[in-house]
Structure 1
Amino acid sequence: MSALMTGSMEYLRRPLIRNIQSGDRALVLTDTAHDPRVWQAVMSILQEIGAEVTVALFERRPADYYDPPSAVCEAMMKSDVNILLASTGMLHSPASFRAMEARIPSICMDGGMTLEWFQSGAVTEDMKQVMVRKHYVAKDIFGADAKECRVTSRYGTDFTYRVDDRIFVPPLPGKNFDPYKIVDFDKDENRKGGNLYYYLFPTGEFNVAPIEGTANGKLVIDLTMHHIGRLEDPIELHVENGRVIRIEGGASARVLRDYLVEYGDENAYMCPAEASIGVNAKALIRGVQREDKNVYGAMHFGLGTNIDVGGSIRSKIHMDGVILEPTLYVDGDVRMEDGRFLRPIEGNG
C-alpha cells in the first residue's frame, strides 16, 4: 500500500483527528468504483488514532442518495461515526438520515475524489475563511430579506426564483471555532430542520433552497453535472412553475434525460431544489461535483431532494449542475457579474 501513497496526507488527516478518538467505532463506506487508495489512507490514519475501524466495500450504487446494501445500513446504526467515501453521494440517503437522527454523525468525503485531489485544490483552503464568506454571502449578496433572484449567463440562462424567508445567515466563526469539527447544522449554521449532523470535506458553498414551485425560465448548465461529470456541451433546462418541462442540448442533455427516466421519480424534475454559490477560492475544476460546485463565484442548481438545504422536497435522487460564471440579481440589483462578487465577502481578516 505504501508504494501507492504519494504526497502529504495532512489535509485528509484534519477532519479525522479532530472528530475521532481512540476506541471510537468508525465505519468506512466505500465502493468498487472509488479510488481504493483513499479508504486505505483513511484506514491507516484511523488506526494511528486508535479507532476500531471497519471497512464496508460494496458495488457502486446507481445514483446519489441511494442507500448502501442493507447489511451496511444496519452497521451504520451501530457505529460512532460513519465515514462516507463512495463514488456516489450517500450523505443524504435514507440510511444516513436515520443515523443522523440517532445522532450518529458522518464525515462526508464521497463523490469520486481521488487521493491526489485530497492533496491540492479545495481541501487546502482556509476553512475558517470559508465560513466568513458564507456569512457575508448570506448577509450582503442575498440579504436576509431577499425575495426574488434572477440568474443570467453567457450561455443563455435567464432564470428567476423566489427565496422569501429562505436565506439563513450563518454566524461568523468565533475565536474558538474549529473549521474541521462535525457540525450540528440546526444549531451551528442556522439551517432549519433535517437533523443534519456531519462534516463535509472539501466544502465551500453557501446553500439556498428556493421556494418550491416559484422558478421559471431557462437554466443552462455549462460546467459539470452529477453523474455526467465535465460537460461536453451545455444542458438547457426549461422550467415552468418549479418543474423541468424540457431538457435540450447535445449528448450531455441526452444522458441527463435518460438518467432521470431510469433513476428518478416525479420529484426529480423539481427545479431548482437548490441554488447555491461557491466560496472556496482554492477549488479547481476537476469534472466532479464534490469540488467543482465549490469554485469561487460559480453557482450550482439542483434537481430533486432539497430537505437537506432547508426545503421540503423528497426525491430518490439529487443532481447538481454548475454554471461557472453566472450573473446574479437580487430584487433587481446585480450582486454578482460573470462570477465576480460585486460586494465584499472576505470580512475584515
Structure 2
Amino acid sequence: MSGVSGLMTGTLEHLRRPLVRNIKKGQRVLILSDTEHDPRVWQAIMTILADIEADATLCLFSRRPADYYDPPAAVCEAMMKSDVNVLCSSTGMLHCAASLRSMEAGIPSICLDGGMRLEWLQSGAIADDMKQIAVRKHYVGKNVFGEGAKTCRVTSRYGTDFTYSVENMVWIPPLPGPEFDPYKIINFQKDENRPAGKLYYYLYPTGEFNVAPIEGTANGKLVIDLTMHHLGKLSSPIELTVENGRVVKIDGGADARILRDFLATYGDDNAYMCPAEASVGVNAKAVIRGIQREDKNIMGTMHFGLGTNVDVGGSIMSKIHMDGVILEPTLYVDGVKRIEDGRFLVPIEGEG
C-alpha cells in the first residue's frame, strides 16, 4: 500500500478530537480509503472508533483517477445508509457527487482526504488553534476583503497579474462565541454565514477563507508556484492564461504538460473555468508538505481553483476540482494592497 511502513508512533490526539466530538456509541460509521493511502491512518481511525464503541465499517478500494470522482457504486450506496462518513482517501472525495448526496440527506462527513500521512496528522496545520482559525477567517473577510469588495488583483514574483470580480461574493463568517466548539461538524449555511448548498462536514487539517469569484470575470496570467491537486509539489511554475474566466493556455515545464494532459483526460468543459475559487490561507502552523490538504492552508498563501465551485458559494459543477497554490502572493482589493508577498497588511488576529 503505497510503500508506507513503520510503527504507529506519537500522539493521536489531533486525529481523535473531531471523531470523539461528533460520533456516539453505536452509530454506524463508514470509513472510505484506498490502496494508495497510508494504511496507518485508517487503522488509527478504526482504533479510535473502537474506543468510542461505534459500529465501524472500512471500505477499501482502488485509487480514483482524480479528485471529486466517486468511490465504487457499492460504496456510494453504503454512504447513504451510514450515520457518519469518514473520508481518508488519497484523492479528494468531500465534494464528489456521492458525498454531496449524503450530506444533502443529513449524513455528515468527517474529512481528512487528500493523502495525509499519519505523521502529518500529528503536527503542522492540524495542530493549530482551531478557534483562532475561526477568528482569522472573520477578520480576513472583514479587513482583507470587506462586504463591499468588488475587484481583486493578484500579483507574484513569478509573473502573476490576475484580476477578477468578487462583488457580492464575500461572506464574513461570525466571530466564534463562548459556545463555539472548534471540532464540531459544520453546517456551512448556518454556522459560516455563506451559501454552500447542503454542505455538512468537518474538514481537517483546515485553515482557508473561501471566496468564489463571479464566473467569467477573471483575466490575466495566473502562475501557480507551490503545489497543485494531483501534481503535488511543483518542480516548475505553471502559467495559466485566463480570458473571461476560462483557461485558454497552459505554459511551463513538465508540470504544465501533466496538467494539460490531466484536464484533457479527466476534465470536462467546466474544468477550465478559473478561478472556481480564490481563497486565502489562515493556518499559522501549516507547513509545506507537497499536498493540497496542508499547503493551501499556509498563512498568507492564496489558492485558485479550476472546475467545481458550488461548495464555496459558486454555481459551477464539473467532474473535477483542482487547486493551485501561490506561496507568496500580493493581493489588492479595490486598488488597496492588503497582502504583500504573503504577509497580511491588515489585522487578522483581532480588532488590531
Quote the RMSD (CA, aligned, Å): 1.0
Q: Report deviation, 1:3.
A: 7.2
What corresponds to 2:163 in structure 1?
160
Q: Which of these residues, 21, 25, 31, is aligned with residue 22 of structure 1?
A: 25
Q: Which of these residues, 315, 321, 325, is aligned with residue 322 of structure 1?
A: 325
Q: Which of these residues, 40, 44, 48, is aligned with residue 51 of structure 2?
A: 48
Give SS of 1:4's match: coil
Q: Report deviation, 1:191.
A: 1.5
Percentage of identical aligned residues: 75
Give SS of 1:22's match: coil
What corresponds to 1:137 in structure 2?
140
Structure 2 residue 78 is the aligned partner of structure 1 residue 75: yes
What corresponds to 2:219 in structure 1?
216
Structure 2 residue 285 is the aligned partner of structure 1 residue 282: yes
Deviations 1:233-266 (A, max 9, x none): 0000000000000000000000000000000000
Gaps of 5+ in 1: none
Letter in 2 for 1:142: F
For residues 119-268 of structure 1, the aligned pairs below 5 Å read 119-268=122-271
Q: Report deviation, 1:348.
A: 5.5
Deviations 1:97-156 (A, max 9, x none): 100010000000000000000001001000000000000000110001100000000000
Letter in 2 for 1:258: D
Moved more, 190-199 or 32-41: 190-199
Deviations 1:181-217 (A, max 9, x none): 0000000001114100000001000000000000000
Deviations 1:6-28 (A, max 9, x none): 00001000010000010110000
TM-score by length of 2: 0.98
Q: Matched residues in 1 for 2:96 and 2:170: separation?
A: 24
Q: Report deviation, 1:271.
A: 0.1
Q: Matched residues in 2 for 1:100 and 1:115: separation?
A: 26
Give SS of 1:169's match: coil
What corresponds to 2:114 in structure 1?
111
Q: Report deviation, 1:304.
A: 0.2
Structure 2 residue 71 is the aligned partner of structure 1 residue 61: no
What corresponds to 1:269 in structure 2?
272
Give SS of 1:30's match: strand
Structure 2 residue 38 is the aligned partner of structure 1 residue 35: yes
Q: 1:348 to 1:164 in 2, by over 3 A?
A: closer
What corresponds to 1:7 in structure 2?
10
Q: Report deviation, 1:176.
A: 1.0
Gaps of 5+ in 2: none
